[in-house]
């Protein structure tokens, strides 16, 4: 069990679980709406998500003059040289993916990459970045929708509902992590909604986000009961319940430090749609 926990921590620290979760989500969306996607899109999405998150963590670690108190940041701080070397190698490898991606997907990806670049520059320059969690959540949802949209998915009512649900789930996830890591972020000088707004106001925003998700999800349930839509909505509901559980039982999950593994694992739930 100890070895399994250690492996899970490595996967989390290296953002591999986030990349794989994005691949699960984009393919589940394509499957839900009957869109055919090339395998190259999944590979490119995983690589891009990993590059973005890893660069963000490396930049966070570089801001500090001493080893961070948070395990994930400390891991990148101690191993910055080999992680950055791996980042360069994978970034070069990613250039070859452009020869395999559909043209429309590549064009959409370039636009989103530009938006991500703006986010990274703002996160690096601004000591207090109020919009950080919100922008990450929206860009994450945009990222997992790029593939299906570039392959013919129209952003009509149902896809829009799923987009809003995923953006809210990502935002709730980020706010939960911000809440759990408030003390360490404050100690290391990192800004987050918890350090900016304070615990009490963050809990109010979290409750509002959970309520918003419930309303959007409830509306989504009324839009049809076809073979895939209703089960997918039930999966979204289960994701929301697990995140709400992390909120209501925060003392328990904070004590055993399992909140991040569980919070990221939630985004693998949509793989269940492939059983239909």
Interatomic CA distance for residues 154 and 159, integer angstroms: 7
pLDDT at 184: 74
Residue with the two structure tokens 């922008």: 135
**Which residue range forms the structural domain that includes residue 86?**
2-275
Distance CA 99, CA 211 (A): 44
| CA 216 to chain CA centroid, nearest Å | 19
- pLDDT digit of tens for each residue in the chain (276 aa)? 556 666 777 788 888 989 999 999 999 999 999 999 989 999 999 999 999 989 888 887 777 767 777 777 788 888 888 999 999 999 998 889 888 999 999 999 989 888 888 887 876 676 656 677 888 899 999 999 999 999 999 989 999 999 999 999 999 998 888 888 777 766 766 767 777 777 778 888 899 999 999 999 999 999 977 889 999 999 999 999 999 999 888 778 766 677 877 888 899 999 999 987
Pull the structure tokens for residue 191.
Answer: 């800004």
d(CA 168, CA 163): 9
Q: Which helix (H) or strand (E) holds 190?
A: none
What is residue 214's predicted lDDT score, i.e. its pLDDT?
97
Alpha carbon distance 141, 130 (integer Å) = 19
Q: How many domains does the chain have?
A: 1
Cα-based torsion angle of the residue sequence 166, 25, 98, 82 in order, rounded to the nearest 10 degrees: 90
CA distances to 21, 116, 236 from 269, rounded to whole Å, are 9, 26, 8
Query: E strand or H helix at 116, and its extent?
Result: helix 103-125
Whether the CA torsion 169, 15, 55, 144 is positive or negative: it is negative
User: Per the structure block, which two tokens stand in for 101?
Assistant: 């991606």
CA distances from 104 to 50, 61, 182 (A): 22, 35, 41
For 257, how many CA atoms within 13 A lie in the half-sphere containing its CB? 8
Other beta carbons within 10 Å of 88:
9
The predicted pLDDT at position 2 comes to 56
SS3 69: coil
| 90, 94, 142, 155, 242 from 97: Cα distances, Å | 11, 5, 20, 26, 35
pLDDT of residue 57: 84
């Amino acid at each position: 069990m100890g070895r399994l926990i250690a492996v899970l921590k490595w996967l989390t620290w290296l953002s591999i679980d986030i990349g794989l979760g994005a691949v699960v989500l984009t393919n589940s969306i394509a499957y839900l709406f009957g869109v055919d996607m090339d395998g190259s899109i999944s590979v490119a999405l995983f690589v891009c998500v990993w590059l973005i998150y890893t660069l963000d963590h490396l930049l966070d670690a570089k801001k500090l003059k001493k080893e961070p108190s948070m395990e994930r940041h400390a891991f990148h701080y101690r191993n910055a040289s080999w992680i950055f070397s791996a980042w360069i190698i994978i970034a070069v490898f990613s250039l070859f993916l452009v020869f395999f991606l559909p043209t429309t997907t590549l064009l959409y990806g370039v636009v989103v990459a530009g938006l991500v670049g703006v986010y990274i520059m703002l996160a690096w320059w601004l000591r207090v970045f109020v919009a950080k969690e919100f922008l990450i959540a929206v860009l994450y949802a945009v990222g997992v929708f790029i593939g299906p949209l570039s392959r013919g998915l129209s952003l009509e009512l149902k896809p829009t509902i799923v987009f809003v649900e995923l953006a809210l789930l990502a935002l709730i996830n980020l706010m939960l992590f911000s809440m759990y890591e408030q003390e360490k972020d404050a100690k290391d000088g990192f800004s987050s909604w918890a350090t900016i707004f304070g615990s009490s106001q963050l809990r109010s925003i979290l409750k509002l986000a959970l309520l918003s998700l419930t309303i959007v999800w409830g509306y989504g349930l009324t839009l049809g009961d076809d073979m895939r839509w209703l089960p997918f909505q039930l999966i979204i509901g289960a994701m929301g319940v697990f995140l709400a559980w992390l909120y209501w039982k925060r003392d328990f999950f904070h004590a055993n430090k399992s909140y991040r593994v569980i919070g990221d694992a939630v985004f693998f739930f949509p793989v269940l749609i492939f059983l239909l």
